[in-house]
Homo-oligomer: A and B are copies of this chain.
Amino acid sequence: MEDLIIVKIGGNVIDEEDKLSSFLHLFGALPGKKILVHGGGKLATSLAGRLGIQQQLIEGRRITDAETLKIVTMVYAGYINKRIVAELQSLGFDALGLCGADAKIISAHKRIHPSIDYGFVGDVDGVNSQRLSEFLQAGLLPVIAPISSDKEGQLLNTNADTIAQEIAKAMSPSHAVQLVYTFEKSGVLLDASDDSTIIPSISPSQYQKLKAEQKIFAGMIPKIDNAFAALQHGVKKVLIGKAEKIAALLSGESGTEILAEAPKA
């Protein structure tokens, strides 16, 4: 089975031009087949602010009204996606920018929730792993923006972590997938303010214990839950750490590895 590295980037790596550039150098140089999934950074929020559009967040999720959907589609699938693609191309990597609607890579539906109306937010129904495999086989490097669409052609704002996870799961029957979630911190930390308190690996039983002791920062919980779900669906390895240390992350010298089961003694 061929190796496939799927990396999700977000936050300050996207916002800071220098950081993005040096990450793309490192990412492009990783061996073998790769897919990059990116989030949005601060640009969508600042653009909405300049246009006087109020942003609402419920449980950390953006409520996406029609105006906000326009903005995130423009920023994520337009500006950020094409900037990354153009830079990867200039480095000699044959990037192909996609949102979920392109080549029907991701099928989604508008989120149905008993009490909260999330607006134009998508939940993923499926991933077109065959098309993604064809693109990889053709030497292309897919760069995926977190916008999808439903059967009626409605664009939908879709969580980038979830997209990365769903793609990782869908590609696992045909590839040995390593899924890497990158963010501001060096990994999962015991003390969110101290980068030296990194937990090198977390098994399900350790995770339950850490959660019970309230030692896991609330914002990390969806990411780690996502990671376990990926492992349960055939993803070979899930890593969490800094984008700037992508090579060290993959070699196990940095970051946190989420383990499907406790290591044997």
- Interface residues of A, Cβ cutoff 8 Å to B: 50-51, 70, 73-79, 81-83, 85-91, 94-99, 101-104, 134, 138, 140, 147, 149-155
Contact = CB atoms under 8 A, between A and B. Distances in A.
B153 A87 contact: yes
Contact of A89 (B83, B86, B87, B149): B149
B90 A151 contact: yes
Contact of A104 (B51, B77, B89, B149): B89
A82 B152 CA distance: 13
Given A79-B70, A86-B155, A97 B101 contact: yes
Given A51-B51, A102-B95, A104-B94, A78 B89 contact: no
- Per CB-CB distance, the 7 closest pairs between chain A and chain B, nearest first, are A78-B78, A90-B153, A74-B74, A86-B149, A74-B78, A87-B153, A86-B101
Given A75-B74, A79-B78, A152-B90, A85 B102 contact: yes
B51 A91 contact: no
Contacts of A78: 73-79, 81-82
Nearest to A72: B78
Contacts of A149: 82, 85-86, 89-90
A101 B93 CA distance: 11
A138 B134 CA distance: 9
